[in-house]
């Protein structure tokens, strides 16, 4: 696993075969098309989008450091860091308090 990339959010390695995805630091719909991306575990990427809206991501959380400083993501990171690199979990949807439901 020494050649595996490291997830910049949780700091765990991303071994081959583990679900992973690219996160646009500025969402594509908010001007980030072609902008910087980071490779994350899918579970970490899903948690980001379950926590923050596209507007919040673009306005206040466009760096890994900012994402790591968000209180809920910091709690998630502390929790997931204790899991093995191949850990998978389903992230429940609609946890941002969306209106109209």
- The pLDDT, as a whole number, for residue 13 is 95
Nearest to 32 by CA among 17, 22, 41: 22
Would you say 10 and 20 are in contact if contact means Cβ atoms under 8 Å apart?
Answer: no
Supply the pLDDT for residue 3. Answer: 82
pTM of the model: 0.84
Mean pLDDT for each consecutive 10-residue tract of the chain (101 residues)? 85 93 92 92 94 95 97 96 84 48 33
For residue 74, how far is the Cα from the chain centroid? 11
Q: How far apart are the C-alpha atoms of 43 and 18, rounded to whole Å?
A: 10
Q: What is the pLDDT of residue 52?
A: 96
Q: What are phi and psi of 60, to 5 degrees?
A: -120, -15
pLDDT of residue 92: 53
Give the pLDDT confidence score for residue 85 in this predicted structure.
85
Q: How many CA atoms lie within 13 A of 97 on its CB side?
A: 0
């Amino acid at each position: 696993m020494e050649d595996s990339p490291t997830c910049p959010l949780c700091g765990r390695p991303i071994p081959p075969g583990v679900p992973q995805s690219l996160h646009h630091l500025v969402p594509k719909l908010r001007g980030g098309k072609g902008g910087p991306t980071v490779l994350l575990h899918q579970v970490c990427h899903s948690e980001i989008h379950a926590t923050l809206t596209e507007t919040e991501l673009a306005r206040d959380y466009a760096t890994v450091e900012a994402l790591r400083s968000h209180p809920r993501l910091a709690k998630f990171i502390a929790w997931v860091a204790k899991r093995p690199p191949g850990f998978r979990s389903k992230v429940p949807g609609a946890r941002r308090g969306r209106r109209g439901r």
